[in-house]
Amino acid sequence: MTWEGTNPALKSILLNSHTDVVPVYQEHWKYNAFSAVKDADGNIYGRGTQDMKSVTIQYIEAIRHLKAAGKRFPRTIHLTFVPDEEVGGKKGMETFIRHPEFQNLNVGFALDEGLANPTEAFTVFYGERNPWWVTVRCPGSPGHGSRFVENTAAEKLRRVINSFLDFREKERQRLNTSECFTLGDVTTVNMTMVNGGVAYNVIPAEMDVSFDIRIPPTLNLQEFEEQIKAWCKEAGDDVTYDFAQKAMNQTTTSTEDSDPWWKAFSSTCKSLNMTLVKEIFPAATDSRFIRAAGLPAIGFSPMNCTPILLHDHNEFLNERVFLRGVHVYENLLPSLGSVPALSVDT
């Protein structure tokens, strides 16, 4: 959807949201997860209320109100509704951003989803951790389950797991012992799959283990991969690894007061008496593809005083918080749409 500005030659504003949601375990929900039940406290329960149907509707409602008031701004505003974000975005934003149709949008700045904040503050994300999904394959000597076979796959697998999880523990301690760190500032490592074996009494010829790793922009990616290589070498002969996903772009968006986009965003929030907390997003959103294309993007969902429940049972958003979010965008869009012409606009 496009709301053309009075000077469409200027770089445009992109309001991105994804239309897909994760599955539910209905037996753990108070209400039908797809009925949008509102309780006596004004809490609206439903899958996607936080991630990210609310933001999608807030964009639309804010623009509807602004258009009804006869407003129009120099910069064009585009709304994109993309699929597949919850499964990596490869058939959604990652593909779309390479197409001429995206280039024709002439984007200068983008907003995308953020996270709820349980406090009075609002969290703003200017970068993301890189997701690496790696599988380590451990070949070994097979044999009968009654023997002490040397050089087994399981022995190598144990060394690999220990190396990865020892690193995980060090990062966990860094997070828990310093008030300076948020989840987006450290590397998380989680073992997610183990495969191998055909029978109780057969020592397998190969076993493999998979890890979900999320790496902050402050960690050197090449050096970290060298560490993975070293762990594999230490585990034994012929241990190899491969990636199911390996994001390599560590671009962040400027939050300096001298940056015109950030200044327009943050000054508007300040005028609304909103406290902003700047963080690296701990997971992954479509913003990473936008930043990788060289475009500034901010992750922001105006949901304060709200527990973080994306992908959780009983995901909800209070109607008061939701409606205030519409008001927030009604103020943000005029500011962003009226950023004076920049060097990138010529």
Catalytic residues, by residue number, are 20, 85
CA gap 107, 98 in Å, rounded: 13
Please choose, from the candidates 50, 5, 2, 53, the residue with its C-alpha nearest in 3D space to the C-alpha of residue 337: 5
Omega within 30 of 0 (cis) for the link into 52 = yes
72, with CB counted inside 10 A (0-12, 13-18, 19+), is: middle
CA gap 230, 243 in Å, rounded: 16
Q: Are the C-beta atoms of residues 141 and 151 closer than 8 Å to each other?
A: yes
What's the alpha-carbon Rg for the chain, to the nearest Å? Answer: 23
Which pair of structure tokens corresponds to residue 175? 């997070």
CA gap 284, 244 in Å, rounded: 15
DSSP-assigned states of every residue in 107-167: EEEEEE----BSSSSEEEEEEEPEEEEEEEEEE---EETTS--SS-HHHHHHHHHHHHHHH
